[in-house]
Amino acid sequence: MSGDVFTSEIIKDSLVALGDEMFNAMVRTSMSPIIYETTDFAVGATDARGNLLAQGNGVTAFLATLDTAVQSTLQHYPNPGDIRPGDVFITNSPYEGGGTHLSDVVIVLPVFFGEELVAFTVNKAHWTEVGGTKPGSVSTEATEIFQEGLHFRFLKLYEEGRQNSSLVRLIRDNVRLPESTIGDMHAGVAAARVGAKRILELMEKYGRDEVLTAMEELLDYGDRMTRVELQKLPNGVYEAEDVVEDDGLGNGPFKIRVKVTITDDKMITDFTGTDPQVPGPINCSYTGLVTGARCLFKAVTNTEIPANGGCFRALEVICPDKTLISAQSPAPVSLYYEPLIAAIDVMWKALAPVVPDRLPAGHQRSVGATFISGIHPDSGELFVMGEPLVGGWGASDGMDGDNGQFCCANGETFNIPVELFETRYGLQIDQYAFNMEGGGAGQYRGGKGVVLDYRVTSEEAFLTYAASRTESRPWGMVGGREGTNNYAQILRHDGRVERYGMCTTVRAEKGEVIRLVTANGGGYGDPDARDRRAVERDLKNGYITPEQAHADYNVKV
């Protein structure tokens, strides 16, 4: 078929749409709530060189993990014939392309048109179990990667259509939840095959050359439109630093520093000066850092363009090796998301004063990832619950902060519904309310975090919890006040209340309460300038107490 602009646009839209179709296939076929309810995964497609064409996202923090996974696969299989039709690769290597932590498993499927490699489809999903020393494959106490679970380095899960049965058996025999783990593996393969089928249908309908040309045009479009937005940003050099409090082993705090340079055609983010990688598991690899930088870069350029590799050609990420956000083997990384979010936040902090229309004040800055395990009181089987937490976002010029939203790295993720939660796990939800601790006062108020109470209904349950912003607080802007802290508590039978910023498999007995508290966001502007009607509305809606109205806004009730 001869090329024309209309055909090209149809192909490009179809490539973007296949990400949504892969996403839906993953939701329909997975077996773990963290995938089909929380949507802790991402799917997409790349060209034959590993340039991202389209991505269907649950988790924003996977924005640099699909294309880099393909690029590393090509490095591992560089020779002609190494990659064949019917091959499917599996990897969770933290220190190479696609890497975050071992729980995030990538499926890579090469797409062949005849004998020619024309594209890849890929997905990355959080498996509830990949082995390791602790249920859920997450520990705040790990000191090396080998304690965190099974490590797949770009292995062939399928070779020319034949499943690697020995590898599948190895996985099954080394995880605590073999049925759901293997089910999630098959879901990843199914989603990748859906995307591959759509690419081949496009080539059969419109021709190979037409589709490959549309792929290049899609990338160029992302580049061109992003640079238009980049030119609207004020040129200059902007710096900020912040801390991650703890590595899980009692060490810290650790500094993350950035220098952002904006020119007419490039944004350079230089993280030189960040502290070295640490003994505990809050290390993050360079891939994670790149995804963090991409998140913030997208937020201040053109958020309407579906993400593709062209959108990030104007972004350069610099960081020395072996820092907290460029860690290398055998550094433990199961809590990688906390320094990754801190890297996003420190860029955010540097740029917010110059683009206040696009970036609010500081938010809860933590996944607040919570893992609770035990023996279900009805079935007598092991349960492992893993879930991120919502918190308060910062206020901005003209608007109060959002209440009860996931952090910047979580993106379009969701809570596990209460009904499903209480059925699947030996826990009962006693309370789900906004955090009334105060903080975040300003002309525009910071958003509210939450208080979430899990009452243990099994004979015992074990809490693993990790957060940052446990001592430092979400930052305010233009005179707005800081927010509050993230933390977990266990309310004991004898009245004692234990508080944790990080912990691993802390035991709670039947009837005791595990309480999770997330931060309120930072405020914007002088609190004295807040409209009295807004204060009265907050009182009516239960967002602030009369005492807070008086102390923060000099409004007496």
Instruction: Write out pLDDT tens, residues 441-460.
Output: 999 999 999 999 999 999 99
Q: How far apart are CA 269 and CA 256, in angstroms?
A: 12
Q: Which helix or strand (DSSP H or E) is residue 236 part of?
A: strand 236-244
Residue 58 pLDDT greater than 80, yes or no: no
What is the C-alpha end-to-end distance of the chain, expressed in Å? 74
Question: What was the pLDDT predicted at 304?
Answer: 86
Which is it for strands 116-126 and 460-466: parallel, antiparallel or unpaired? Answer: unpaired
Which amino acid does the sequence have at 323?
A: T
Q: How confident is the model at residue 410 (pLDDT cuts 50, 70, 90)?
A: confident
pLDDT tens readout for residues 274-283: 999 999 999 9
Q: How confident is the model at residue 100 (pLDDT cuts 50, 70, 90)?
A: very high
- Average pLDDT (157-186) is 97
CA 92 from chain centre, in angstroms, equals: 15
Question: What was the pLDDT predicted at 402?
Answer: 97
Q: Is the dihedral of CA 490, 427, 61, 236 positive or negative?
A: negative
Q: Identify whether the C-beta of residue 341 lies closer than 8 Å to the C-beta of residue 409.
A: yes
Question: What was the pLDDT predicted at 114?
Answer: 94
Q: How confident is the model at residue 3 (pLDDT cuts 50, 70, 90)?
A: low
Residue 188 pLDDT greater than 60, yes or no: yes
Of the candidates 180, 251, 281, 276, the residue with the CA atom closest to the CA atom of residue 504: 281
Residue 527's φ and ψ, nearest 5 degrees, are -55, -30
Question: What was the pLDDT predicted at 514?
Answer: 98
- Average pLDDT (65-72) is 96
CA atoms within 13 A on the CB side of 230: 22
Q: Is the dihedral of CA 219, 224, 225, 227 positive or negative?
A: positive
Question: What was the pLDDT predicted at 56?
Answer: 82
HEC readout, 272-319:
CCCCECCCCCCCCCHHHHHHHHHHHHHHHCCCCCCCCHHHHCCEEEEC
Question: What was the pLDDT predicted at 206?
Answer: 95
Question: What was the pLDDT predicted at 1?
Answer: 41
Which is it for strands 487-491 and 513-517: parallel, antiparallel or unpaired? Answer: antiparallel
Question: What was the pLDDT predicted at 66?
Answer: 94
- Average pLDDT (178-193) is 97
Q: Identify whether the C-beta of residue 396 lies closer than 8 Å to the C-beta of residue 444.
A: yes
| Cβ neighbours for 524, distance < 8 A, ≥ 6 positions apart | 360, 361, 394, 395, 396, 397, 442, 443, 444, 446, 476, 477, 478, 480
Question: What was the pLDDT predicted at 260?
Answer: 98
pLDDT tens readout for residues 308-351: 999 999 999 999 999 999 999 999 999 999 999 999 999 999 99
Question: What was the pLDDT predicted at 414?
Answer: 87
Q: What Cα–Cα distance (Å) separates residue 119 from each residue in 70, 105, 157, 308, 489?
A: 10, 20, 18, 14, 48
Q: Identify whether the C-beta of residue 487 lies closer than 8 Å to the C-beta of residue 499.
A: yes
Bridge partners of 106, per DSSP, are: 91, 124
Q: Is the dihedral of CA 161, 127, 71, 406 positive or negative?
A: positive
- Average pLDDT (373-381) is 95
pLDDT tens readout for residues 201-250: 999 999 999 999 999 999 999 999 999 999 999 999 999 999 999 999 99
Q: Per the omega criterion (within 30 degrees of 0), is the bond before 85 cis?
A: no
- Average pLDDT (84-105) is 96
Question: What was the pLDDT predicted at 531?
Answer: 96
For the chain, helix, strand, coil in percent to 5 are 30, 25, 45
Residue 2 pLDDT greater than 60, yes or no: no
Q: How far apart are CA 489 and CA 501, in angstroms?
A: 9
Q: How far apart are CA 317 and CA 347, in angstroms?
A: 12
Q: Identify whether the C-beta of residue 446 lies closer than 8 Å to the C-beta of residue 555.
A: no
Summary mean pLDDT of the chain: 95
Q: How far apart are CA 63 and CA 292, in angstroms?
A: 8
HEC readout, 159-227:
ECCEECHHHHHHHHCCCCCHHHHHHHHHHHHHHHHHHHHHHHHHHHHHCHHHHHHHHHHHHHHHHHHHH
Q: Which helix or strand (DSSP H or E) is residue 498 part of?
A: strand 497-500
Residue where the block lists tokens 């230089």: 270
pTM value?
0.94
Residue where the block lists tokens 């956000």: 325
Bridge partners of 136, per DSSP, are: none
Q: What Cα–Cα distance (Å) separates residue 437 from each residue in 402, 517, 518?
A: 16, 10, 10
Tokens of 477: 């802007």
Helix (H, G, I), strand (E, B) or coil at 140: coil
Residue 177 pLDDT greater than 90, yes or no: yes
Tokens of 525: 């502007």
Residue 60 pLDDT greater than 90, yes or no: no
